[in-house]
Amino acid sequence: MATFLENLTARRNAIAAELAALTATTAGGKPNASATGIDHVGYKMGLYRELEEIEKRIAAAGGSITDNGPWEEMTIGVT
C-alpha cells in the first residue's frame, strides 16, 4: 500500500507529465473558445494550481520537490 507521500508524488508526476504533453492542438494548449465555451486556459491554470498545492503538501510531509530526496542549499561567500 502506497504511503501518503508516495501518493502525492505520483499525482505530482502525473500532473507534470500532463502539462508537458500540452500542445497547440490539445485541451489546455489551445486559446479559450468563446463559441463553444471551452476554457482551455482555465484547465491549464487549474493543473498549475493543483501542482503548486501538491508541492506544498509534499514539503510539509517532509518530502522533496525533486525525486532526489531532501536537499540542502549551501552558499559560500567570497570576501
| pLDDT tens, N- to C-terminus, the chain (79 residues) | 878 889 999 999 999 999 998 888 777 777 777 677 778 888 889 999 999 999 999 888 887 655 544 445 556 777 6
Structurally, the chain folds into a number of domains equal to: 1
> Residue 77: inside a domain, yes or no?
no
C-alpha cell at 41: 486556459
In a domain, residue 10? The reply is yes
What is the model's pLDDT at position 76?
73
**Residue 21 CB neighbour total at 10 angstroms:** 10
Q: How far apart are CA 79 and CA 77, in angstroms?
A: 7
Q: 4-20 and 40-60 helices cross at what angle (nearest 10)?
A: 150
At 63 the pLDDT is 72
pLDDT at 8: 92
Is 13 part of any domain? yes
C-alpha cell at 72: 540542502
Would residue 53 count as lying in a domain? yes
The answer as to whether 46 is a domain residue is: yes
For residue 33, list its beta bridge partners.
Answer: 38
Structural domain harbouring 45: 1-24+38-68
